[in-house]
Structure 1
Amino acid sequence: MLRFHTNLLAPPPAANEGPIVELRGLLLPTLTGPAGGPPVFTNPLPVSFEQCQAELLTIPRLDAEPDGYFLVAGEADGQRWQVDGHMFELEGAMHRVEAHGACPPGVFDAILGSLGWPAAPLVFQLVQEGVVLREADFRCWAAAGVG
């Protein structure tokens, strides 16, 4: 089960290796902006709002609202899971998806697929921790979590 609260974004146009941070008992490399601060996410995701929403609606048991809110829930190995999220446009392009909750990796992959993944790489901005991770590091962190 993956547990997370993250923004799913296209990689920023300029990013540097950031500090290694300890999260959930793991040492994880982060990404920063060129000056060492947070990255600036100006690249849009490679799908439109409508394409993303239509792809999300192919996920079993997912409900999506016209304003971009979505919810999917289920049960795996006797454990209930749920992910809720919101799609965000900026200047007519998909900017990011905020997702929060817990789910099996396959469901998470389907959510990522609505954004053009795996053909389009993504980065993961942890909402509460305030850091940006690459996919492999995010998956390690999400698999290690309880909250």
Structure 2
Amino acid sequence: MLRFNVSVHARPRSLHLGPIVDNRGLRLQTLAVSPMALGEPMGVSFEAVQSHLNDLPRMYFEPDGSFVWVGEAGDLKSWQVDGIVYDRNGSLHSVEMKGQCPEQAFDMLLTAFGWPETDFIFQLADEALFIDEGEFRRFTKIR
């Protein structure tokens, strides 16, 4: 199970390693990302994301881009992800998501956003840090 409060962005072309930061008992390799570098298109359209997400069971997607996805009743651990997708110039720009879900469900969300063809970086909202996918998965696993 992953727990997160994150913004997802396409990996910018100009990206540098940031400092290693201690957070929640983990040493995280951060990324130094200029705000001007954010905004690379994620490789899929808003409409494609909407279609993909609408196909997921127990997904509620609004035309404004907000969504709620809940686990199946009877799951050993209940879960829910709330989010919103943003587009710009015909392509997905970024996604904000908060909640918790199994890693397989998280991968289904990322697939809707263009992964694995598009590499992502993750901005931890509470910590105000950018990290890559490997660090994100390590950080968000519920202990």
TM, length-normalised to structure 2: 0.92
Structure 2 counterpart of 1:78: 76
% identity of equivalent residues = 42
Question: 1:14 touches 1:39 (CA, 8 Å); kept in 2?
Answer: no
Question: 1:13 touches 1:42 (CA, 8 Å); kept in 2?
Answer: no
C-alpha displacement of 1:93: 2.4
Structure 1 Cα separation of the partners of residues 142 and 15 of structure 2: 26
Structure 2 counterpart of 1:28: 28
Amino acid in structure 1 at the alignment position of 2:2: L
Question: 1:12 touches 1:39 (CA, 8 Å); kept in 2?
Answer: no
Change (3 A) 1:39 1:30: farther
Question: 2:31 touches 2:129 (CA, 8 Å); kept in 1?
Answer: yes
CA RMSD of aligned residues (A): 1.7
Q: Deviations over 1:52-97 (max 9, x none)?
A: 1111122221110000000011157522110000001123321101
Structure 2 counterpart of 1:58: 55
Structure 2 counterpart of 1:13: 13
Which runs of structure 2 are paired with 1:99-138 in the superposition (5 Å)? 99-138=97-136
SS in structure 2 of the partner of residue 54 of structure 1: helix
Moved more, 115-124 or 132-141: 115-124
SS in structure 1 of the partner of residue 64 of structure 2: coil
Structure 1: unaligned runs, 5 residues or longer? none
TM, length-normalised to structure 1: 0.89
Structure 1 Cα separation of the partners of residues 69 and 80 of structure 2: 6
Amino acid in structure 1 at the alignment position of 2:25: G
Question: 2:71 touches 2:78 (CA, 8 Å); kept in 1?
Answer: yes
Change (3 A) 1:118 1:101: same
Structure 2 Cα separation of the partners of residues 91 and 6 of structure 1: 23
C-alpha displacement of 1:38: 5.5
Which runs of structure 2 are paired with 1:40-55 in the superposition (5 Å)? 40-55=37-52
Structure 1 Cα separation of the partners of residues 36 and 31 of structure 2: 7
C-alpha displacement of 1:46: 0.2
